[in-house]
Amino acid sequence: MSGRARGGHAPPSGGRGRGRGAPQPQAQPSPSATATARQMEQMTITPAPAMQQAVVGTPAAAVAPSSTKKMKAPPRPGFGSIGKKCVIHANHFLVNLGNKDPYQYDVTISPEVTSKTKSRDIMEFLTKSYRASHLGNLMLAYDGKKSAFAAGPLPFESKEFAVKITEQNGREREFKVSIKFAAKKDLHHLREFLLGRQHDNPQETIQALDVVLRESASKKREIIGRSLFSPEFGIGPLGDGIEFWKGFYQSLRPTQMGLSLNIDMSARAFYEEKLVSDFVGEFLGRDISRPLSDQERIKVKRALRGVRVEVHRKDYMRRYKVQAVTAQPISQLSFVDETGVTKTVVQYFREKYNVQLRFVSLPAIQAGNDAKPIYLPMEICSIAKGQRYGLKLNERQVTQFLRATCQRPQARETSITKTMESNNYNNDELVSREFGMRVTELLTKIDARVLPPPPLRYHESGRSSEVNPSVGQWNMIDLKMINGGTVNYWTIINFSRHNEQAVGRFVNGLVSMCQTKGIVFNPQSLIRMCSAAPNNIEKALVDLQSQCLAQLAKIAPGHQLQMLFVILPEAKGTYPRIKRVCETELGIVSQCCKPQHVMKMSNQYFENVAMKINVKVGGRNTVLSATLNGRLPYVTDRPTIIFGADVTHPSPGEDSSPSIAAVVASMDWPQVTKYKALVSAQPHRQEIIHDLYTTSTDPKRGVIHGGLIRELLISFKKSTGHKPHRIIFYRDGVSEGQFNEVLLNEMDKIRKACLSLEENYMPPVTFIVVQKRHHTRFFPVKHGDRASTDRSGNILPGTVVDTKICHPTEFDFYLCSHAGIQGTSRPTHYHVLYDENKFTADGLQMLTNSLCYTYQRCTRSVSVVPPAYYAHLAAFRARSYMEGDMSDSDSRGARNTRDRVAEVRPLPVIHENVKSVMFYC
């Protein structure tokens, strides 16, 4: 049995594991759509100034089916010229292609190997053993999975090799490796694409060269995605049995200057190499001699599922993959051994190995499969080295992780340069001699521009109402919000341990600040403060609302509670429940405050919270001056709606949780500062937004049209008196591989939503993907130069790049719109996938940068255009409504997982009293 127990009377519990022709619909609007269109038209107040309807729509002949056609992104309309010119460095390194076409070969290893590390060991041994005799003296670049690449044809079309390798336990194993010719990758097409003469991106050729460049760098390093990690770069503890490893990211990208190697520093959380029993003790933070509660066992199961563990003996080592942990402790586990005798696991280890198990109250690890489960005591298993920790880090771990891995620009640039030197690509035999590639080892110098910050307008009272931000920030001293909201009816609920006098002083200070900043705020609360224990939050909130409604019925019939101040309890984890009850059940707009702020009475804190309160009660803090004088291009000339959309996916390990889509849209043209948010749940890790446009059939009413876009278009009409004549759609969270699929599907739904409101209603759309998850970083040429850096040593806010490292032909740019606070600023990458509004480069760059100064929660420019930022906040808020509903269901079978995922649990519906304001701020 070799240190394991098979079979059994105690079945273990299971574990549980994101061409310029528009994709437009062919279908004509149904009668119900025409009726809705009439309803929408009846809301018309005045026509848009200087607006020609003929300019708005796209000819009906342009409507095309939305099938599986490939869409071509619009070409770059030119380069931007506005802004102060400067020179910066980027972590991109030019690669000379050489002249060797990569030949791709399919690789099959049998018996099948799931470990990429072992697969690489097998292929490395094969290359060394057979290079001269059978491989035509060519080396192989292997991707760790199913493909290998050579710098020329091998002497065969297909061949099988026998490879014997010695494993860690000293046992020799033989593998059969089949190598079969698959395709030749043509460098000529890649060169034509880089020169802008060919539109189709030869991504497979680029991937082949990427495998070649990482072949040598990947040896003896853990590969996770496009990053490589090793203790040689740095390692440190994060607590609870988790540690961080440093490493670097590497990716080959097509750019205007040619093929570019993007190198950046990276860090990840890994499991510490230790006994599983020790890990469980650290992970739970307690003595493990006592039995685990069900909640603790589920937590451990999620943390360990899929982890590789090793069982060591003097002359023996075997590796297993954790499938689950048993519901019973080891002391209660029994199985039938080879002789048919029923034994307990404790008895088996004592008799077979003379091992007296110490932690018999711990559950056992279950490896193997359901038919033949293998039970392993945690105290004899070690967690194998170099395994990524995929679950969400807690707050303490995140803080420690950021403190240990955050690097200022100069330090990060130095680390990148050292990594390039140590990788030594130009002296690598495979890269240099075989494929003839050369890598420039100096960071790329780029001509950039710093866009001017937009003037902002506050209320006319006080000092000058126009503010000119400086280095990405400004202050509100002596200024009032341009449109203060009104709060007549409000109250307080206190879940903290602070006494009512302290909380009263705190809230009075906050109300006073709101009044100072221009909010019309009744100084007297509707009812006296309510103090409640945090163990029954839902009941306390319901009782409070009942009291408020009774008082309102006496003094102001028909009115609602407009603001609830919530002092949170000291214990964490209650915020999501409070927001869910207030926003989906009671219809109350709330402002939560942490108890540690109560005694500080900080004016800076009060001012920040007042800004959030104002937008939650329908006010507006500041606007772009250009929106008041009609000079914001592409917005003020005609009714324009700006959308932001995002999809957030559940944390790793949450296999049954849905993904959450959120769409926000501006409701206050021409100011574009108020954004209404709508959210919906959709299948697990699905990136395309399903509910942008929906239809259902009613026996009496016929086809019923719905969806997020349609509802927001109607809300815009009700709010502004105009139907949108232009749509600008900022879409967050889409990777490059999903561009075409997302564009085809979502543009189609935008079109159908418009047509469902009015026949031939097709306002021009610009669809822009917003990307933050990339590894391009910018550095000042001269570190420490105050004229070209902000206080954190980063490049200046407003720095925009649309040359050299951007796409060879398409319309994209990098914009660093914010001032750095810590670490190295990450510019946001904006990529235009569709553009009927015919933006110029300067037009879109200036509009995007200006919008980054309209984020209503602070007096700083932000790093992501606010509609995309708000969509992220709304999706995050909606996910919090579902927290605490995780069950310990069995997902050992893939079929079970798929069936469960298919059933998308709908989100709680946001209350009508709340959804029209920026409740998510």
Mean pLDDT in each 10-residue stretch from start to end of the chain (921 residues)? 42 36 39 42 34 33 46 94 98 96 98 89 95 96 96 97 83 93 96 94 96 93 94 95 97 97 97 97 93 94 94 84 94 84 89 91 91 90 95 93 95 97 95 96 97 96 83 93 97 97 97 97 97 94 97 95 97 93 97 96 96 97 96 97 96 79 97 97 93 94 95 98 98 94 96 96 98 97 93 97 97 97 95 98 98 97 98 95 52 36 79 94 94
Domains and CATH numbers, the chain: 96-271+400-444 (no CATH), 276-384 (2.170.260.10), 484-617 (3.40.50.2300), 623-883 (3.30.420.10)
- Tokens for 139, please give them: 């080396």
Hey, what are 499's tokens? 């006494």
pLDDT (tens digit per residue) in 675-711: 999 999 999 889 999 999 999 999 999 999 999 999 9
Quote the tokens at residue 417: 């340069």
Spatial contact of 692 and 746, defined as CB atoms under 8 Å apart: yes
Q: Are 309 and 381 in contact (CB under 8 A)?
A: yes
Its sign, for the CA torsion 82, 83, 87, 93, is negative
Q: CA-CA-CA-CA torsion for 533, 537, 543, 549, nearest 10 degrees?
A: 120
Helix, strand, coil percentages for the chain (3-state, nearest 5): 30, 25, 45
Cα three-residue angle 702-704-706, rounded to 5 degrees: 175
In 129-240, beta strands by DSSP E = 141-142, 147-150, 158-166, 172-184, 222-224, 227-229, 235-239
pLDDT digits (tens, 9 = 90+) for 866-913: 999 999 999 999 999 987 444 333 333 333 333 444 478 889 999 999
Q: Cα–Cα distance between 198 and 187 in angstroms, integer?
A: 12
Q: For residue 141, what is the DSSP state?
A: E
Q: What is the pTM (predicted TM-score) of this model?
A: 0.90
Pair of tokens at residue 337: 């051994």
Return phi, psi of residue 210, to 5°: -65, -40
**C-alpha dist (Å) from residue 569 to 77, 499, 517:** 54, 12, 28
Predicted pLDDT at 462: 56
Question: What sign does the CA torsion over 465, 471, 472, 473 have?
Answer: negative
Q: Which of 559, 540, 598 is nearest to 609 (CA)?
A: 598
In angstroms, the CA 605 to CA 859 distance is 13
Query: 147-150 and 141-142 as β-strands: parallel, antiparallel, unpaired?
Result: antiparallel
Q: What six digits make up the tokens of 908?
A: 């709680």
The pLDDT score that the predictor gives to residue 48 is 35
Q: Name beta bridge partners: 6.
A: 374
In this structure, what token pair is assigned to residue 339? Answer: 């002789």
How many H-runs (helices) and E-runs (strands) does the chain carry? Answer: 21, 43
Here the tokens at position 668 are 């206050």
Tokens representing residue 481 in the block: 């919000």
Among 697, 677, 554, 660, which residue's Cα sits nearest to residue 878? Answer: 660
Residue 370: its pLDDT value, please?
79
| H helix intervals, 310-466 | 345-353, 395-405, 409-423
What DSSP string runs through 45-114? Answer: -SPPTT--HHHHSPPGGG----SS---PPPBP------SEEEEEEESEEEEE--S-PPEEEEEEEES---
